[in-house]
Structure 1
Amino acid sequence: MMTKRAAVATAASLIFSTLLVKTNANATTAAQAPAGPYVRWAELEISPAKLAEFREASRDIAAPTLQEPGVVAFHSAAEKGNPTQVRVLEVYADAAAYGTHLQSPHFQRFAQASQPVLVARRVYDTVPILLGAKPGITSPAPHVRVAELEIHANQLDAYKAAVRQEIEDSIAVEPGVLAIYSVALKDQPTHLRFFEIYADEAAYRAHIVSPHFKKYVETTQSMIAARKLFEMDSPVLGIKNAH
């Protein structure tokens, strides 16, 4: 999952911002959803002939989306070497904020522009495990990773505890770890998704040799039933200066 960057900022300049959310309620609509962060995960397949159009539409929607009061973070990236496969992570203050986003003019334009370029689209409601991020993403060459894990059901609580601690430590002590978002698919709670942002590849490489990451690997290796790890490319990243 992660790494560390050698020497970037002083400890005083590191700002730790983490959301710890545990909820089992239905989050499909604003009326049903509990208060708190509302996170959507999307897996998109783009027509190879339409990649340029999709990337332009994604860039166009990013800035106005972040201007919405209820939007916390909005990230997308494509699999490296397989650019038609795109992951999107959207974090809203609550489900009502997501509903407001859907009605916005910029989303309506994006929906219209992206419809002809999509081959397949899978969107999931999620239950956040831990959303950890430093305010703002200013790196000129961010390194993005996505992980898809399946956890043994009888080990799920223990795994969540271990990964929360690992994320907290990584955000707090590693200057090059910019964000690690961990969520479970709402209808498949043993299926977890991670969207990880590092200052650069060196930060990632340093992270995976850090003591807290090594401890996480040793603690959880028997808890993980299956995993897929992806290096990502062409990221469009946006996060508010504070949660």
Structure 2
Amino acid sequence: MRQVVLDTETTGLDPKSGHRIIEIGCVELVNRKLTGRHYHQYINPQRQVEDGAIEVHGITNEFLADKPVFAQIADEFMTFCEGAELVIHNAPFDVGFIDTELRLLGNPRWRNVNAHCGVLDTLTMAREKHPGQKNNLDALCKRYFVDNSQRDLHGALLDAEILADVYLMMTGGQTDLVLAQGDSSEGEEGKKAENDVAGEAIRRLSADRAPLLVARATPQEAEAHQSMLGLLEKSAGKHFW
């Protein structure tokens, strides 16, 4: 299974108001393992970046002045993503911007994101797993002990790399945590999250490691387990396992 974890930065919040993409960052997963392949590009939006957006990502109009326009990078970008499942945090936002860029491009080869890729929204997934809690990327990093200490400002490639780690942790792993005792602290929404533990950053398991051993209960062990559940139910009432 091939997945591409994707993030964008933009000139503002609404493509219907003429806002454009200024940065795309992607990292590739194959069978839930990071391959080392990535796509990263800054883009000249051919319009001004709003001051509020610059405060979020720090990407200025002067920096973007000599960057290629979307039409120049569209084939390379879409070819990298084609056929993959896109893993995106708040997917409607990024997909809406990409679809707008493709529509402005007018290239019949590239119609819209859903015509070429699947889409998985990790924000929807996080809200289902953690209802009533903060589920932005910083909050998820704290919850799953993912190091985001370099995330002073939003950046598409860095955020895609962080989201890949969060997604893998949220859906069962492929990473190894080494934890130590530490003090937890709370910060304001939108600020860089503090580490909850004083420990090492995530260490990914080797791709050529031996398969994990699966030890199944013997018939005798399964029978003993059922007997113990029966004793517990008699003494403590209905059980829930």
Pick the TM interval, shorter chain: under 0.3
Higher RCO (CA 8 Å, separation ≥ 6 residues): 1
Structure ranking higher in strand proportion: 1
**What TM-score comes out, normalization by structure 2 length?**
0.26
Structure ranking higher in helix proportion: 2
**What TM-score comes out, normalization by structure 1 length?**
0.26
